[in-house]
A and B are shown apart, each in its own frame.
Chain A
Amino acid sequence: MSGFSISRRGLLAGMSAVGASAALSACGAKTGDSTSTDGSGAKADTSGSTVKVGLLNSLSGTMAISEVTVHNSLLLAIKEINAAGGVLGKKLKAISQDGASDWPTFAEKAEALITDDKVAATFGCWTSASRKAVKPVFERYKSPLFYPVQYEGLEQSPYIFYIGATTNQQIVPALDYLKKQGLTKLYLVGSDYVFPRTANKIIRAYVKANGMQVMGEDYAPLGSTEFGTIVNKVKDSGADAVFNTLNGDSNVAFFKEYKSSGLTAKSMPVLSVSIAEEEVKSIGTQYLQDQLTAWNYYETTPGAANTKFVAAYQAAYGKDKPTSDPMEAAYISVYLWKEMVEKAGSFDVAKVKAAADGIILDAPEGKVTVDGATQHVYKTARIGKVGADGLITEVWNSGKPIKPDPYLKGYSWASGLS
């Protein structure tokens, strides 16, 4: 596997040289306000009356269920911005590429968006694996990516804007909440890949520093449907609550088993960080009722901006379609980019990046502010409870937006993490 990735990197490096020179010669023939300043990156074509932006999501494969919703809300934001006159007087033209739930494909499509379509910015990716795959591509071409999903932190790229929560805006507040409720003995259940393992490493450090206890830690392969033993272990562990970092369909099997073993939200609540409105609907409300989630946004979050967002989304895609946290983050990511470009007065990536710090948006989730130093945003943490109707209602929030801290530098207990 590693041999494959190395040779792939070599291949991409070779291709990038060809791609960059092709892009340069193409730009040489063009007139108008050429953008990129450093000469080594690909140049966004902003000479005409339209500006291309890239949408990079899995429209097929196992992740399509989640990523299609993100793609839809990106298109909605672009449509709204165009209806209001576009960005710097130019209409946006969305170029969609299908990452197909396959990480090397994501890297290829990212390169195609930058070099062939000459997009000014790209929006998308969901799994950390896909983000890690495209990161070197965006860095090499000095082209910006706006990433809309909560993730495990401990990463920073000069060309990625992280619009979803980092750990101190989701996992740490969730732990604070459990501690306050007196739920101090935790059982950690997760899928066996990078996000749950990193999250659980952070949880263990927190638990140790706060006089709490981890009663057990179990991982199931992605897509696994056999949870009999894990649920038995949870049941016998004497834990107060379960911290759930399972991803995707495994949640269906897990919660079915959880309920039929007699465990309930009352006897042992489960707090999940990867289950939003869309997933609640497909897992089945009867299995999830009264269980907890941690996010920055729910469909029920109060505020005029959210009422407008939900109404616009459902008008475009159907009355029964829920909105969720990653969808909202994707939606505001386009608006944040628009604000940055207008503040910079240019599509030039370096100028846009310089203009990013301090951009404020009245988002559906509440006020968000871009932190220029980390390229993350200040976000309000919210704990929610699943209702009988499948919607999630807030039971607690952090009161004000939390400053992003991807490396958890502000927490002494996290000093050993990397």
Chain B
Amino acid sequence: MTVILNQSFTGISIGAVLLLIALGLTLTFGQMGVINMAHGEFIMTGAYTTYVLQKSISGAGISLLVALPVAFLVAGAMGALLEWLLIRRLYTRPLDTLLVTWGVSLMLQQLARDIFGAPNVQTRAPDLLTGNISVGGGITLANSRLFILGLALLCVLALTLILRLTPLGRRIRAVVQNRDLAEVSGIATGQVDRLTFFIGSGLAGVAGVALTLVGPIGPTTGTNYIVDAFLVVVVGGIGQLKGSVITAFVLGVLQSVLEYSTTVSVAKVMVLVAIVAFLQWRPQGLYTLRTRSLA
């Protein structure tokens, strides 16, 4: 029983990391149809932001809290810049966005290597987050994992509120459902695109802050997670926040259960096979967006 509960928690915490990194993609890939290969580098930007802040602010706890909004703004700004410079010219050519953003991702990796050096760096976690909570019966919950879980849920909540309740959210949904109709209704679709990209990239930055609690930070930090993030978005159903949330946690728990009974590599293969089988059965993913457009 203890094993099952401990493993479930591990699975949920893997799910939380997956969710955090997939959340931004749900917006940029899901809502806007842009295959943004540079998403991983926005995650890296968030991680390095944490590192830089920790060097200048003493006190690991404070620097981490400061890093969350700063990483959101820095990564968001980079995303908005990328959208303005390149992506807005390519909205009708999704495959070209893949090539262009892949090029950008390589450039950003090299830039990080030039600025911070090739070896990976580490941040110091606040003392509060290095411990764990024992809930009895041999079950322990790691504080850092609880923090990441809380952060992921907070981001989902914030994103939901923005999409549901704010004028911006309404405009985003309108543009996604029917861009032409939104345009003739007087919505400045270009501006909406940029803001959507800003939020999506900013969320990648927040994910980067969370990843500093898990492992080392390097130029390729984001690349390690980008495939998993795309899987979550595709399996969840493109453009569906609900689908991404459920998929992230299901994949996390599945991965950890399989890892426990086999090995890390075998579990990875089995999860991929399961995903392929699922997409054979439901190519559109868990949930689909209903629109009036014929495309």
Contact = CB atoms under 8 A, between A and B. Distances in A.
Interface of A: 60-62, 64-65, 192, 218-221, 223-226, 228-230, 232-233, 235-236, 249-250, 252-253, 256-257, 259-262, 282-284, 286
B140 A233 contact: no
Contacts of B256: 228-229
B10 A64 contact: no
B56 to A, nearest CB: 19
B124 A262 contact: no
B120 A260 contact: no
Interface of B: 2-3, 6-7, 10, 13-14, 118-122, 124-125, 129-132, 134, 140, 142-145, 211, 213-216, 218, 224, 256, 259-260, 263-265
B134 A253 contact: no
A261 B14 contact: no
B214 A253 contact: yes
Contacts of B134: 262
Contacts of A233: 260
B260 A260 contact: no
B149 to A, nearest CB: 12
Give the secondary structure class of A's interface: helix
Pairs of residues from A and B, 9 with the lowest C-beta to C-beta distance, nearest first? A225-B215, A65-B119, A253-B215, A228-B10, A260-B142, A229-B259, A249-B216, A252-B216, A64-B118
A125 to B, nearest CB: 18
A218 B263 CA distance: 7
Contacts of A257: 142
A60 B110 CA distance: 12
A65 B264 contact: no
A224 B264 contact: yes
A230 B124 contact: no
Nearest to A252: B216
A262 B132 contact: yes
A253 B140 contact: no
Contact of B122 (A60, A220, A260, A282): A282
Nearest to B113: A60
Nearest to B127: A286
Most B Cβ at <10 Å: residue of A220, A221, A225, A230: A225
A284 B122 contact: yes
Contacts of B13: 228
B260 A256 contact: no
5 contacts: A226-B14, A226-B214, A260-B129, A260-B130, A282-B216
A40 B121 CA distance: 47
B104 to A, nearest CB: 22
Contact of A219 (B120, B130, B264): B264
Nearest to B131: A260
B289 to A, nearest CB: 31
B246 to A, nearest CB: 20
Contacts of B6: 232, 235-236
